[in-house]
Amino acid sequence: MKKTLIILNIAGLLGALIWLMVDKDWEPLITSIGLIGALIAQLSSDKNSSKNLVMKQKGGKNSKNYQSKGNIKITNNDKR
């Protein structure tokens, strides 16, 4: 997926540069600068950034730890 986005970005950048050569105006210049910035961001981003992510969870005494993928609702049914 990342390679496809880079290829599309390069194609758009080439189109914007051709547009800039044909029509020397501010619109193709801003488009080219934006696409260059996006390409730099795509190339410099770490493709394995999720491998560097470490999640830790600690609980105190007499506590329960809950972990889920989404939102959870915890109710207290303890009748004291």
Average pLDDT, the chain: 82
Query: For residue 16, what pLDDT is reported?
Result: 93
Q: Which of 42, 4, 11, 37 is nearest to 29 (CA)?
A: 37
Burial classification of residue 16, based on how many CB atoms lie within 10 Å of its CB (0-12 exposed, 13-18 middle, 19 or more buried): buried
pLDDT for residue 79: 63
pTM of the model: 0.54
DSSP state at residue 47 = T
| Residue segments in the chain with a per-residue pLDDT below the cut of 50 | none
Interval 24-37: pLDDT, tens: 889 999 999 999 99
Confidence (pLDDT) at 78: 66
pLDDT for res 51: 64
Distances (CA, A) of 26 to 10, 13, 23: 20, 15, 9
pLDDT at 50: 60
